Structure 1
Amino acid sequence: MQQTDEPRTETRSAVRFDHVYKAFVARSGGSEPVLALQDVTFDAQPGEFISLVGPSGCGKSTCLNLIAGLSGPSDGAVSHHGSPVRGVNTSVGYITQDDNLLPWRSLRGNVELGMELRGVERRERRERAQEFIELVGLSGFEDHYPHELSGGMRKRAGIIRTLVYDSSVVLMDEPFGPLDAQTRVILQAELLKLWERSRPTVLFVTHDLVEAIALSDRILVFTTNPGTIKRDYRVELPRPRDPFRIHETPGFSELHDALWDDIRAEIEKSRERGSS
């Protein structure tokens, strides 16, 4: 395990945050702006899998929304492959807690949707969709509709719908949060298998430290609100990784304990602030 307090400064970043602040103002007006992010600086290199962890409300999801261009920074700069993000960033894939499948389209139709919108020829998108459907064990369900699929199956469909058209940057906001523990681990293994195929840059928000360790190259620990980066951990556990046996990997316990110590300190800080 290697721990660094300073962000890295490689020049060819897939994503970069440069001293980013983000404040929100209540729609009703009359109240002071709420600072969600404070002086956040980090970069993600092409092919890196980075998890964002920290207390609830520390701005992790806000970071993803800034990369996606769903909102803009109050100060500082967010860039995607060297270009400032201005407006909705259609070049990134975004996977949320909800599967967001269209109920009137079959599994195959949902998986093909992104490619269809990008004008990919029908035969090519059919072949690529089928390849990914088979990769995640959904063969035989191509013509089923979302209401006919289990929660885990819908989540697999949502993931491959985003990965099938090869976005170089994929944002994932607690995608396995609503699922039971067993299904989560199964899907972690599926995600690693899919990620290994083309190695997109992934920014992954989670509250599950075991999940973060199993998946990531780096883990960014955020402070309590307003969120800034407290620690940047490099996960040096060897790949390929088996999420089912990650606890047995040398170095796992030490990294897990260090992450928990950081987050517990932030939770206690938040409680003290609330009681004062």
Structure 2
Amino acid sequence: MSTAERVTGTVKTAAVGFDHVYKAFVARGRRSEPVLALQDVAFDVRPGAFVSLVGPSGCGKSTCLNLVAGLSGPSEGVVTHHGRPVRGVNTEVGYITQEDNLLPWRTLSGNVELGMELRGVPRDERRARAREFIELVGLAGFEEHYPHELSGGMRKRAGIIRTLVHDSDVVLMDEPFGPLDAQTRVILQAELLKLWQRLRPTVLFVTHDLVEAIALSDRILVFTANPGTIKREYTVDIPRPRDPFRIHETPGFSELHEALWADIRAEIGGAEIGGEAP
């Protein structure tokens, strides 16, 4: 796929592009050969798409997010954001990690407003927008609560809307639901889909949960074991809107899940040891 897609007769630049990207790391303070984390990674993400990266631990999925965020630069190749090479910290993208990273001395409202406050959004406007998003994820009534007074799921909701509230066109998500229990994960998957369908940011999502990837994504990229490169790409043809609570019952789910797990099991040596799919 090229870095420009033809959409309804016009050329539309990819929101995120990887053009034959390599990334090597050298351990600090040691004389050693560089360790290759990514090898010849090439893919595009069209604006408004939801793309998941899956693969064995240590295959470079999170490194891809860091490259888009400009927290690290490629050793070779080019990473682009709307056609422009990423050079230095990319403040135009949002980044959601496993940790909620809420400021303990600020209330729920104060945390959700933080990004808008730093960007100089007027007080009344940012409060109204924060209130709207807090209501969207069912946290109305908790505006003046501090993070230690909220459950893990509530803190995760707050972290997500804090990123989405100031209209980042690209949102990077690195296993955001990893630390949560299974029931809360599915609830938050449903809420994330609701927010994404309303706002339509471009999402690049890292997960080890294949069910989660299928429930959320337009496309799923499977990475090989280290050094990571794209082994296969899957299009998720399950119609939207989707219900994460019943995704297992959807036609086509079982076949896609089995194919994904077969690819990943081969990378981690599971072809010999067997094991259940995640």
TM-score (norm 2): 0.94
* Count of residue correspondences: 266
Separation in structure 2 between the aligned mates of residue 200 and residue 111 of structure 1, nearest angstrom = 18
Separation in structure 1 between the aligned mates of residue 188 and residue 44 of structure 2, nearest angstrom = 26
Deviation beyond 2 Å, 4+ runs, structure 1: 7-11, 269-272
Separation in structure 2 between the aligned mates of residue 152 and residue 100 of structure 1, nearest angstrom = 13
Once the two structures are superposed, the pairs formed by residues 116-131 of structure 1 within 5 Å of their partners are 116-131=117-132
Residue in 2 that maps onto 1:3: none
Give SS of 1:171's match.
strand
Separation in structure 2 between the aligned mates of residue 216 and residue 133 of structure 1, nearest angstrom = 24
Residue in 1 that maps onto 2:136: 135
Residue in 1 that maps onto 2:82: 81
Separation in structure 2 between the aligned mates of residue 237 and residue 39 of structure 1, nearest angstrom = 30
Separation in structure 1 between the aligned mates of residue 115 and residue 95 of structure 2, nearest angstrom = 12
Residue in 2 that maps onto 1:221: 222
Give SS of 1:184's match.
helix
Decide whether the 8 Å contact of 1:224 with 1:270 is kept in 2: no
Q: Structure 1: which 5+ residue stretches go unaligned?
A: 1-6
Which deviates further from its counterpart, 9-18 or 48-57? 9-18
Deviation of 1:269 after TM superposition, in Å, equals 8.1
Residue in 1 that maps onto 2:258: 257
1:59-84 deviation per Cα after TM superposition (whole angstroms, max 9, x unaligned): 00000000000000000000000110
Give SS of 1:63's match.
helix
Deviation of 1:119 after TM superposition, in Å, equals 0.7
Once the two structures are superposed, the pairs formed by residues 163-182 of structure 1 within 5 Å of their partners are 163-182=164-183
Which deviates further from its counterpart, 83-92 or 26-35? 26-35
Separation in structure 2 between the aligned mates of residue 78 and residue 196 of structure 1, nearest angstrom = 26
Residue in 1 that maps onto 2:25: 24
Residue in 2 that maps onto 1:155: 156
The answer to whether structure 1 residue 266 and structure 2 residue 267 are counterparts is yes
Residue in 2 that maps onto 1:10: 4
1:83-121 deviation per Cα after TM superposition (whole angstroms, max 9, x unaligned): 100000000000000000000000000000011111111
Deviation of 1:220 after TM superposition, in Å, equals 0.3
Deviation of 1:198 after TM superposition, in Å, equals 1.4
Once the two structures are superposed, the pairs formed by residues 42-81 of structure 1 within 5 Å of their partners are 42-81=43-82
TM-score (norm 1): 0.94
Residue in 2 that maps onto 1:4: none
Separation in structure 1 between the aligned mates of residue 187 and residue 45 of structure 2, nearest angstrom = 26
Separation in structure 1 between the aligned mates of residue 164 and residue 111 of structure 2, nearest angstrom = 12
Counterpart of 2:210, as a letter, is L
Separation in structure 2 between the aligned mates of residue 8 and residue 56 of structure 1, nearest angstrom = 28
Decide whether the 8 Å contact of 1:14 with 1:46 is kept in 2: yes
The answer to whether structure 1 residue 197 and structure 2 residue 198 are counterparts is yes
Residue in 1 that maps onto 2:99: 98
User: Kindly tell me: are residues 261 and 41 of structure 1, through their superposed partners in 2, closer, same or farther at Cα, counting changes over 3 Å?
Assistant: same
Separation in structure 2 between the aligned mates of residue 164 and residue 202 of structure 1, nearest angstrom = 15
User: Kindly tell me: are residues 71 and 9 of structure 1, through their superposed partners in 2, closer, same or farther at Cα, counting changes over 3 Å?
Assistant: closer
Separation in structure 1 between the aligned mates of residue 263 and residue 4 of structure 2, nearest angstrom = 26
Deviation of 1:56 after TM superposition, in Å, equals 0.2
